[in-house]
Amino acid sequence: MLEMRPDCESCGKDLSAEQTVALICSFECTFCDDCNSDKHKGICPNCGGRLMPRPTRSKELLAQFPASTLRKYKC
C-alpha cells in the first residue's frame, strides 16, 4: 500500500492524499507538479526512476488506511 507521503521532497509543499498534483516514482519519492515541471522533468532525482501521477485515496479509505505523516527531504 502506498504511504501517501504528505509533502514534496524538494520544496516541502503540502500534498494531501486527495490531491492529484503529486508525482511519485517506484520508491514512492514524492514531488509536487511545480518541482517536476521546473526541476525534475519527469525523472526522480533520488533514484532516476520515472515520475508518475500519484493515485488518490478516497476519504473512506483514508479513514481506514491513513496517509503517512512522515516528511522526507532529499533534494
- Find all residues with CB under 8 Å of 61, minimum gap 6, and list them: none
33 occurs within a structural domain? yes
66 occurs within a structural domain? no
41 occurs within a structural domain? yes
Range of the structural domain that residue 14 is part of: 1-56
Q: What pLDDT is stored for residue 75 in this prediction?
A: 55
Q: What is the pLDDT of residues 13-69, one digit of tens each?
A: 999 888 889 999 999 999 999 999 999 999 999 999 999 999 998 889 989 998 888
Q: Which helix (H) or strand (E) holds 64?
A: helix 59-64
75 occurs within a structural domain? no
3 occurs within a structural domain? yes
Sign of CA dihedral 53, 58, 59, 63: negative
Q: What pLDDT is stored for residue 10 in this prediction?
A: 95
13 occurs within a structural domain? yes
Looking at the structure of the chain, the number of domains it has is: 1
DSSP of 7-48: B-TTT--B--TT-S-EEE-TT--EEEHHHIIIIITTB-TTT-
In this prediction the pTM is: 0.86
Strand order of the β-sheet with 52-53 is 30-32, 22-24, 52-53
50 occurs within a structural domain? yes
